[in-house]
């Protein structure tokens, strides 16, 4: 990893699902340095091409396949649903905000075209909270944000309106143990790997056509990857996202996924409440990723995930069906205001993905049934 400062820059963006414009502009600038062509589709996905671009992608039989590497750029948060006369803001949540960690958090309120403002999710003072209230979670419909302004007129003058996006306030720290602590490591870790892999592969010129896609809308619906896949028309896709680490109290009975134990190759993912349910990866693609890791001496982990999904879950239904696989970076406290992951895992995941793309033949058999 050449430019770890880039990870910090990515983490510090506020890019709520559907409100990713500043990050889109930044990514276009970064990707243009290395890609043959960069485009933004109608929804906002940023697509960087190495080798073929859509204009010349209708190749005859025997032509190179197109592989797609995906990382979503957006993050969870809120939108302002109401500005009160007293200047306090009411919220709806966007994506999987855990309500139990909201009260007392610092948030970034992001008025259009202006610098973001700090706000605090307030609540009844501790001194007046009775025993019966002490262990009750404040729901999102009940909480409010205080941006330190005295009335609705001052809030309006600051550019804050109904619909203004709100994210966790940026925080970034790397420990001496090479653990990174930040908001939105889901999915800026993967976005960082996407950019680093594009940079590395631009000097290598692989046998396949490669599309590096930073998607929008994942945390809200995961539909961004559908338009991304419709634009790229890939033969195969590898989706980079975080994987839920279980090496902590209360989680250790769930899975074997740990920090510092390498990238997670998913075998099964199911979201009982999601609109698109989950992903069982293409078996040949999954096996090839595992073999690549073994040959390169990269330790990796097998993963299962019950209760969530990624861009792979939606995009696999585009075209006639796309062969997909998920590679995860282990992370703790996902969707909390500060998530924790390992830079050692980030490096190992980047090496795995780069080696996988480098070794891809022009044609890879991903057929089912044999």
Q: Tell me which residues touch Zn ion (CB under 5 A).
A: 186-187, 241
| SS3 labels along 107-123 | EEECCCCCCCEEEEECC
Pairing of β 106-109 and β 165-168: antiparallel
State in angstroms the smallest separation of the CB of 366 from Zn ion. Answer: 24
C-alpha distance from residue 143 to each of 147, 284, 314 (Å): 13, 48, 32
CB of 187 to Zn ion, least distance (A): 4
**Least Å distance between CB 76 and Zn ion?**
9
- What span, in angstroms and rounded, lies between the C-alpha atoms of 142 and 165? 18
* Shortest distance (Å) from residue 186 CB to Zn ion: 4
Taking the least distance from each CB to Zn ion, the nearer of 240 and 360 is: 240
Q: Which residues contact 149 (CB under 8 A, 6 or more apart)?
A: 87, 155, 158
- Closer to Zn ion by Cβ: residue 207 or 229: 229
Q: Where are the beta strands (DSSP E) in the chain?
A: 37-40, 46-50, 66-72, 77-83, 89-94, 106-109, 117-121, 144-146, 165-168, 172-174, 179-182, 209-215, 236-244, 264-270, 278-279, 301-306, 323-332, 339-342
Q: Nearest approach, Cβ of 334 to Zn ion (angstroms)?
A: 8
Choice between 44 and 119, CB closer to Zn ion = 44
Query: Rounded to the nearest whole angstrom, what is the least distance from the CB of residue 241 to Zn ion in the complex?
Result: 4
Closer Cβ to Zn ion, 51 or 167, answer by number: 167
The residues, any chain, with a CB within 8 Å of residue 206's CB and separated by 6 or more, are 50, 51, 357, 358, 360
Instruction: Compute CA distances 137 → 99, 132, 143, 168, 321, whole Å.
Output: 7, 11, 10, 18, 42
Contact indicator for 162, 81 with CB cutoff of 8 Å:
yes
For residue 30, the minimal CB distance to Zn ion (Å) is 20
Indicate the residue among 27 and 155 with the shorter CB distance to Zn ion.
Answer: 27
Q: Pick between residue 111 and residue 224 the one whose CB is nearest to Zn ion.
A: 224
Q: Which is nearer to Zn ion, 11 or 145 (CB)?
A: 11
**Long-range contacts of 290-294, Cβ-Cβ distance < 8 Å, separation of 24 or more:** 290/265, 292/352, 292/355, 292/356, 292/359, 293/262, 293/263, 293/265, 293/352
CB atoms within 10 A of CB 101: 16
Instruction: Compare residues 187 and 312 and give the one whose CB is closer to Zn ion.
Output: 187
* CB 341, min distance to Zn ion, A: 12
Minimum Å distance from CB 268 to Zn ion? Answer: 17
Nearer to Zn ion, 30 or 241 (CB): 241
């Amino acid at each position: 990893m050449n430019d770890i400062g880039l990870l910090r820059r990515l983490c510090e963006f506020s890019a709520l699902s559907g409100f990713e414009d500043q990050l889109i502009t930044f990514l276009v600038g970064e990707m243009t340095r290395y890609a043959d062509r960069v485009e933004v589709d109608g929804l906002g996905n940023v697509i960087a091409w190495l080798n073929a671009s859509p204009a010349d992608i209708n190749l005859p039989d025997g032509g190179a396949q197109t592989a797609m590497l995906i990382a979503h750029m957006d993050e969870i948060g809120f939108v302002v649903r109401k500005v009160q006369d007293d200047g306090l803001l009411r919220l709806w949540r966007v994506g999987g905000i855990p309500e139990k960690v909201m009260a007392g958090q610092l948030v970034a309120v992001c008025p259009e075209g202006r610098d973001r403002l700090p706000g605090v999710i307030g609540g009844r003072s501790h001194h007046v909270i009775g025993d019966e209230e002490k262990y009750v979670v404040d729901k999102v419909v009940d909480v409010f944000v205080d941006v330190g302004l005295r009335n609705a007129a001052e809030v309006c003058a600051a550019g804050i309106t109904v619909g203004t996006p709100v994210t966790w306030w940026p925080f970034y720290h790397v420990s001496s143990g090479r653990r990174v602590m930040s908001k939105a490591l889901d999915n800026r870790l993967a976005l960082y790997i996407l950019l680093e892999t594009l940079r590395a592969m631009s000097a290598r010129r692989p046998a396949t056509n490669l599309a590096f896609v930073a998607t929008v809308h994942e945390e809200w619906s995961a539909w961004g990857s559908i338009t991304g896949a419709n634009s790229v028309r890939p033969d195969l896709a590898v989706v980079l996202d975080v994987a839920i680490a279980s090496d902590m109290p209360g989680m250790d009975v769930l899975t074997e996924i740990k920090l510092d134990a390498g990238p997670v190759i998913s075998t099964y993912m199911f979201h009982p409440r999601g609109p698109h349910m989950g992903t069982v990866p293409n078996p040949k693609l999954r096996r090839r990723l595992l073999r690549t890791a073994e040959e390169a001496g990269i330790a990796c982990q097998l993963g299962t995930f019950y209760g969530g999904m990624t861009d792979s879950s939606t995009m696999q239904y585009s075209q006639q069906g796309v062969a997909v696989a998920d590679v995860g970076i282990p992370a703790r406290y996902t969707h909390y205001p500060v998530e924790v992951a390992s830079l050692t895992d980030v490096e190992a995941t980047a090496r795995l993905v780069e080696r996988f793309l480098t070794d891809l033949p022009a044609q890879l058999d991903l057929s089912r049934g044999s």
